[in-house]
Structure 1
Amino acid sequence: MSKDTSLVGLDAILKELGSFGKYNIINYAFFLFPCFLAGMYGSVYVFEASDIDYRCRINECENINNTNIWLEYAIPKEKDRYSKCLRFSAIESDINSNSSCTVDAFDTSVAEKCTSYVYSDEDSAVKDFDLGCQNWKRTLIGTIHNSGLFLSLPLTGIISDRYGRKLALSVAALMNCIFGFLRSFSTNYIMMVAFEFLEAGFGAGAYTTAFVLAMELVGPKGRVFGNTLINVVYVCGLMSLAGLSWILQDWRTLLRVIYAPSCLVFSYLWILNESIRWLLSKGRHDEAVAILQKAAKMNNVELSDQALAPLQEMEKKPIEEKEEIDVEPKPSVFLQVIKSSIIIKRLLCCSFLWITCTFVYYGLSINSVSLAGNKYINFMLVAFIEIPANFTCLFVLDRFGRKKVMIIMYILSAILCISLSFLPKNQTWWSLIFYLSGKFSITVAYSSVYIYVSEVFPTNVRQSLLAVCSSTGRIGSTLAPLTPLLALYYDNLPSIFFGTLAVMAGLLVFTLPETINVPLPDSIEEAERLSKAKRRKPEDLP
């Protein structure tokens, strides 16, 4: 009996255990904690290096406390606000003392770039590291943070698939704690961005590992609800981030408060059980059976002999026979993936869907702090809209299928984002409604993609291929922090970019197979057959 055969029987066992018994609930509670923290870590740079008010330092006049006397003559206005980066040229012969800062002391026909700045009392790395009028440096902080995911997700995926989900989660969380905490002591810009990269580069995989553990804990009928729980907790992390930023008003203290708890997740190495599905894929049947029996006891369920039969047969086989089975020459799993044109095409499509989701999702979140009103409340609103979006996923994914939902939500998000450029500037409330609706749509699409990708790839490479999609998709989240720079040329240019990409993604979904009511594939062959698979009725599923 092969490993794949034993994996086939696991869905039947999970059905008898129940999707959310005591064992599942306790384990989910553990998985939700790093997901909550990930919600804060993924967007902390928005408040860590937020844009603040500042103006040119006019050395000739700064000793005059009443700026109303000279500011209008010293600094030009842009869109009814004093320019951040320009000042009028001083006429040296007319400035002999600070009391001479009048209209005659400046040449209002000549504007020049500032050499130094006066910052507001707001807290930001912009102020600490003197990043005035260097928007590219400010936005680059988020880009460098997200670029770390190109390293983290494949690295965590390899560790997870080779050495276990539990180890990958624990180590990634420890890296979050160490590098995130150290970043709060940054003494210069270079030190800050270096730790941004290292924290994400070695720790961002904690979320995807917790997600995979959660998906492998339940059968097909529990996946969507489990995914919804994880996403809602992630949103709570986002809202908590905005709330803590508002209360603390100190980015260094904020980093210490949110990163310290991540060290607790390292203890999962001794507390959590390993993924049963992963153990079976590695032929460690004794450990898998022991965990299943423990789960059954906690859930007050007695597993039938029929359900356990495949695993017990493998457990009872002589060691020689097991070794004989294990040493059968087989091509490597990754070689099988490369040779499968179906899997490769699917991998490319899913990667593009992920790029679109991250670009639009993070782009809308980041640009929300530039909307009119309180930036903390705006961020909370844009985050909060994800909660009804995730519950919408819960009701529509199992009813209408993954493909229909993704197509509709991508196209709807595109229409809403592009429509923002046609709204009059004085329609603040309508702009907010369209903005939130666009975030709602892309969140439903993002949640659908996350669960869809976990369903179309086989168990033995699921985390690795999910990591490939996720890390490739981070091209979107890496570029998203730069989108505020587009608004310098045209206010709604970022939204137009979001909408265009979403249309392309919606059309691409038509080429993918439906996975509703289909058991998780455990081998390359099963994954390939998804395109031809006949959907099973919900009552027949584990």
Structure 2
Amino acid sequence: MSKETPVVGLDVILEQLGPFGKYNIVNYALLLVPVYLAGMYGSVFVFEASDVDYRCEISACETILNDSIIWTQYAIPQGKKGLSKCSQYSYRDGIVLDNNTICSTELFNTSRTETCSSFVYGDQDSAVIDVSIQRCQDGKRTLIGTFHNAGLFLSLPLTGFVSDRFGRKVALSIASLMNCIFGFLRSFSVNYYMMVAFEFLEAGFGAGAYSTAFVLAMELVGPKGRVLGNTLINVVFVFGLMSLSGLSWILQDWRTLLRIIYAPACLVFSYLWILNESVRWLLSKGRNDEAIAILERAAKMNDVMLAPHDLAPLQDTEKPDNAELTGPKEAIQENKPSVIMQVIRSSIIRKRLVVCSFLWITCTFVYYGLSINSVSLAGNKYINFMLVAFIEIPANLACLVVLDRYGRKKVMIITYFLSAILCISLSFLPKGHPWWSLIIYLSGKFSITTAYSSVYIYVSEVFPTNVRQSLLAICSSTGRIGSTLAPLTPLLALYYDNLPSIFFGTLAIMAGLLVFTLPETINVPLPDTIEEAEMLSRGKKQSVDQP
């Protein structure tokens, strides 16, 4: 007999316990800690290896500090955005440089340039200087973010497997420990290769902490509490982003920054002993006694009385004659195909997996692309990053209002198309209007954040319990194609300032069109079996409001 048991009656019990009683609040508070840390970890490379001001070192002129603005005009050519970083005017033929050489216009041949041999840096902090990243190769610098996000291709499926096989809290605790170890070690990097190796390893083994915390939180509440829970998670994630920018601004030391933000992840490892396992996961594995014990503790904390007949279906699920108590479920047979094989054989689930993966690619590409490129906007890069992060709070509050009123599908369609219009419109805005550019930029981030939050909660609602995190991890890891490419988008601006925004808008239009092919999940209990997940597309799954 299979160990897996149906959990159809669980949503009814969760409704009785209430969406946010004392038990839920305590567990959510614990889960919000790794979520907050994940907000910093996912974008730390933006400040860790930020671009810095530098120019050629002109040995004959560097001692003339007060007149540096004057002499750089005839010693260094103008680039697209100010003085060239990588070239200087050649010295005139026959010039011999020594201590008596005078810095003047006659020293340089402004009709000929040459590559810099040494550099002078501005008063900025970045690993670009400390780990000797080769200058004038922006691609090498931006690859640090790409290596970080490429680690998610390993982390999310790996964490999803551990989570579905060994439990949510085990996966969360181990991933957090990996964050702590590899993130802390990265602060001691002495060269570029050591740094990118630890970037990959930290994300590769630790980035799944966020998705695991999210799944635990979603499985903690019933259908009515999911949107509020999702909003809390996303708002706390934003505070992590804003804290990252503020700490970077205050510390101005990337090594100290890494040590401060990664140390708390070691404390999350203690969740292995203090956090309750997901009741829904325990029931899906046939560990009913443990699940019922947790539900009874939750009822006691929430001052709710659960009648014996409420828990009876969960106690008797392995008895064939009690099938009518628990509703439709998978037949329990030894020769039944594995759940993964059922997913592969189901054309509905396969198509849904492909579409959801593309939606995720679009969200990560546009979301992270706008965040990363925000430091290139006019003004203080730390404030710009904070503003672009802060706009996510009203976006998530908007989700709280609209998702349960208008449904997931309609909200995703509108926000994808709106994001596309706003991003593409940046290319038509006349130059010299920085405030209008910032407003449209923030509006685009607002739209894609709303879409991203909607996709995250939607994907957690359309797949069955026993493979929910694995399939969510597949969508999320495939979606990291977008976040892996996003750090490279600033290079597009070297050819045309608004080329990144045009790419963002085009992808958002395609995603909006694909949403039309998906089912609506508003007020629908989480599907526990493959058949129930398929019924969403056939319109047969009862909503929680139906008798």
With normalisation by structure 1, the TM-score equals 0.96
From 510, 525, 537, the equivalent of 2:531 is 525
Matched, 1:56 2:56: yes
Q: After alignment, is 63-72 or 477-486 more displaced? A: 63-72
Give me the whole-angstrom Cα distance separating, in 2, the residues matched to 1:328 and 1:193: 47
Q: Does 1:477 align with 2:483?
A: yes
Asked whether the equivalents of residues 34 and 173 of structure 1 are also in contact (C-alpha less than 8 Å), the reply is yes
Q: Which residue of 2 aligns with 1:204?
A: 207
Q: Secondary structure at the match of 2:110?
A: strand
Q: 1:140 matched to which residue of 2? A: 143
Query: Aligned residue for 2:78?
Result: 77
Give how far 1:60 is off: 3.9
Match of 1:130 among 129, 132, 136: 132
Match of 2:407 among 386, 401, 407: 401
Instruction: Kindly indicate whether residue 185 of structure 2 is the aligned counterpart of residue 179 of structure 1.
Output: no
AA in 2 matched with 1:493:
L
- How far apart are residue 536 of structure 1 and its match? 4.9
For the residues of structure 2 that align with 1:155 and 1:39, how far apart are their CA atoms?
A: 20
Residue type at the aligned position of 2:130: D
Residue correspondences, number: 535
Matches within 5 A, 1:87-98: 87-98=88-99
Q: What per-residue deviation string (whole Å, max 9, x for no partner) do you get for residues 44-96 of structure 1?
A: 00000111110012234334444345322211012462111111111252344
Partner residue in 1 for 2:357: 351
Tell me how far apart the structure 1 counterparts of residues 379 and 544 of structure 2 sit (CA, whole Å): 47
Which amino acid in the other structure matches residue 238 of structure 1?
Answer: L
* Contact kept in structure 2, 1:231 and 1:390, CA below 8 Å: yes
Opposite residue 165 of structure 1, the aligned amino acid is: R
TM-score in terms of structure 2 length: 0.95
User: Matched residues in 1 for 2:6 and 2:537: separation?
Assistant: 23
Structure 1 contact 94–100 (Cα < 8 Å) conserved: no
1:114 paired with 2:120, answer: no
Residue 290, structure 1, aligned to residue 290, structure 2: no
**Greater share of helix residues, 1 or 2?**
1
Partner of 1:446: 452
Q: Tell me the amino acid that sits aligned with residue 123 of structure 1.
A: D
Aligned pairs (5 A) from 1:173-322? 173-314=176-317
- Identical pairs, percent: 76
Q: Structure 2: any 5+ residue segments left out of the alignment?
A: 322-330
Deviation at 1:5, TM superposition (A): 6.3
* AA in 1 matched with 2:489: T
Query: Does the aligned pair in 2 maintain the 1:455–1:520 contact within 8 Å?
Result: yes
Aligned to 2:326: none
Matching residue's letter, 2:124? E
Paired with 1:90 and 1:357, the residues of 2 have a C-alpha distance of 50
- Determine whether 1:45 maps to 2:48: no
Letter in 1 for 2:300: K
Amino acid at match of 1:104: E
Letter in 1 for 2:119: Y
User: Once the 2 structures are TM-superposed, how far is the Cα of residue 328 of structure 1 from its aligned partner?
Assistant: 2.3
**Alignment RMSD (CA, Å):** 1.8
8 Å contact from structure 2 (residues 4, 285) kept in 1: no
Secondary structure at the residue paired with 2:120? Answer: strand
Confirm or deny: 8 A CA contact 2:4 2:286 kept in the other structure. no
Contact 2:76–2:89 (Cα < 8 Å) also in 1 = yes
Question: Whole-Å Cα distance in 2 between the matches of residues 28 and 437 of structure 1?
Answer: 30
* Cα distance between partner residues in 2 of 1:140 and 1:227: 31
State the one-letter code of the partner of 1:275: S
Cross-structure match for 1:422: 428
SS in 1 for 2:246: helix
In structure 2, what residue type is equivalent to 1:12? V
Which residue number in structure 2 is paired with residue 30 of structure 1?
30
Q: Quick one: distance in 2 between partners of 1:46 and 1:312?
A: 51
1:322 corresponds in structure 2 to none
Q: Which residue of the partner structure matches residue 516 of structure 2? A: 510
Match of 1:437 in 2: 443
Letter in 2 for 1:144: F
Q: Secondary structure at the match of 1:511?
A: coil
Give CA deviations for 1:380-406 in whole Å, capped at 9, x if unaligned. Answer: 000000000001001101111111000
Kept in 2: contact 1:6–1:310 (CA 8 A) = no
Moved more, 391-400 or 95-104: 95-104
Shift of 1:306: 2.7
- The answer to which of 397-406 and 131-140 deviates more is 131-140
With 454-463 and 305-314 compared, the bigger mean Cα shift is at: 305-314
Contact 2:5 2:283 in 1 (8 A): no
Counterparts of 2:131 and 2:46, CA distance in 1: 16
Any unmatched runs of 5+ in structure 1?
Answer: 319-324
